[in-house]
Amino acid sequence: MRRLRRTGRKRPAETLLAALTAAGLALTASGCVTVHGERELIPATTPGEAAQALKEFTDAFNKADKAYDPALDRDRVTGPLGEINQAGLKSRQVTDPDGNENHRPLELTDAKFVIPRKAGWPRFFVADTDSNRDTDQGPGDTRWVLVFVRDAAGRPWQVAHLSILSPDEVPAFRTEAGYAVPVAADTEDLAVAPEDLGERYVAFLKDGQQGPFAAGPHTTEWRTERQKAANRPGLATQYVDQVDNRGDFAPVGLATEDGGALVFFATRYFERQTAAPGYRPKVGADVKALMTGVVTNTVTKRWVSSQAALVKPAGTKADGAVIVGRLQGVTAAEGS
């Protein structure tokens, strides 16, 4: 994809740079399970190390964005953000082989690190930051919330998820002994277990009736947009959504003070556009750069989508999950 899009409420925040990435992280079954033979709860990192990881990510991202070279930040991204980032840079290498003439260095400041304790590997932490990609006050103010993951000692911290939220969408996190509390993938303490969010979301997008999701730009409004696109004159569009909880695409969650959790999860979907006989779907240069095959009357785009959801406590009867952020990008395309 040529640019990384934040979808949702209309704010004067500008379109994100063309290629962010992230690394997903598998949740432990609980804060005290045996993982790799370890039982002791260990802080995922230190504030100093977290600050260094954020700097290294930002430095790598800026180098990659300036040169449009995916190799320059490949080691700093993973999971859904990683796929989006790498595809975006790959596309820009084709469309802009001389690099990014309009490069403006990304700055992430006012970092607040949310560091959990957990047993074994993998480990993760969250960086809640201010960026220079918006206004600092008013309705355009946003926070860049990044999920850093690492699956073994000595490996670099990588960003798996990025959510761009308003300040009031970033919750207060519950702490124990001064550290954030991770939520288990299969917990029964939430209205929806993190490991079930992807499946429930895919079902909701398909029929609009399943799932506990509150109405909003990433649920009801997103379905409406798809329905409008489905049967435009001369062009039919079909969507097929898929769950992906594997590896660095596994959900990651932190408990919040209200008894719920902020959970990051990812899905994939295919968007198939078929033109009427004698016509061809329009394909932009950024998508064409990722394409295989030749477009005669059909183009199929493969998307990765990363969501952030505020999940309420178990027993919530309605609107148990509010999706507050969605970041998506085209990662491949095929013409036929």
Q: Cβ distance 97 to 89 under 8 Å?
A: no
Two tokens, residue 179: 């550290």
Task: Give, as one character, the DSSP assignment of residue 197.
Answer: H
* pLDDT over 80 (residue 307): yes
The pLDDT of residue 211 is 72
Q: Cβ distance 135 to 12 under 8 Å?
A: yes
Two tokens, residue 275: 């033109």
The pLDDT of residue 2 is 37
Can you tell me the distance from the alpha carbon of 69 to that of 274, in angstroms, rounded to the nearest whole number? 32
Helix or strand (DSSP H, E) at 327:
strand 321-335
- Torsions phi, psi for 114 (to 5 deg): -110, 105
* pLDDT over 80 (residue 140): no
Can you tell me the distance from the alpha carbon of 174 to that of 181, in angstroms, rounded to the nearest whole number? 6
* pLDDT over 50 (residue 1): no
- Torsions phi, psi for 119 (to 5 deg): -90, 140
* Mean predicted confidence (pLDDT) in 226-233: 90
- Whether residue 156 is preceded by a cis peptide bond, meaning omega within 30 degrees of 0, is no
The pLDDT of residue 12 is 32
Q: Three-state DSSP class for 239? A: strand
In angstroms, how far is CA 148 from the centroid of its own chain? Answer: 12
Task: Calculate helix-pair angle for 47-67, 79-95, nearest 10 degrees.
Answer: 20
The rounded mean pLDDT for the chain is 88
The pLDDT of residue 139 is 61
Q: Three-state DSSP class for 152? A: coil
Two tokens, residue 229: 């696109």
Q: Cβ distance 314 to 261 under 8 Å?
A: no
What is the percentage of the chain residues whose pLDDT exceeds 70? 87
Q: Cβ distance 223 to 215 under 8 Å?
A: no
* Mean predicted confidence (pLDDT) in 329-336: 97
Can you tell me the distance from the alpha carbon of 328 to that of 79, in angstroms, rounded to the nearest whole number? 12
What is the percentage of the chain residues whose pLDDT exceeds 90? 80
Q: Three-state DSSP class for 126? A: strand
**Nearest alpha carbon to residue 250 among 313, 184, 298, 296:** 184
Task: Calculate helix-pair angle for 194-207, 220-230, nearest 10 degrees.
Answer: 40
For the chain, give every domain's residue range. Answer: 5-335
What is the model's pTM?
Answer: 0.87
- Any alpha helices (H) in the chain, and if so which ranges? 47-67, 79-95, 194-207, 220-230, 285-288
Two tokens, residue 57: 């990510």
The pLDDT of residue 141 is 87
* 22-26, 82-86, 214-218, 246-250, range with the lowest pLDDT: 22-26
Can you tell me the distance from the alpha carbon of 65 to that of 17, in angstroms, rounded to the nearest whole number? 8
Condensed to tens digits (0 to 9), the pLDDT of residues 77-89 reads 999 999 999 999 9
**Nearest alpha carbon to residue 193 among 239, 258, 261, 241:** 261
Condensed to tens digits (0 to 9), the pLDDT of residues 31-55 reads 333 334 357 899 999 999 999 999 9
Condensed to tens digits (0 to 9), the pLDDT of residues 119-128 reads 999 999 999 9
The pLDDT of residue 231 is 84
The one-letter code for the residue type at 326 is R
Q: Three-state DSSP class for 224? A: helix
* pLDDT over 60 (residue 17): no
Instruction: Give the contacts of 182 (CB within 8 A, at least 6 positions apart).
Output: 27, 28, 31, 116, 117, 118, 124, 252, 253, 254, 255
Condensed to tens digits (0 to 9), the pLDDT of residues 172-224 reads 999 999 999 999 999 999 999 999 999 999 999 999 876 799 999 999 999 99
Can you tell me the distance from the alpha carbon of 316 to that of 309, in angstroms, rounded to the nearest whole number? 15
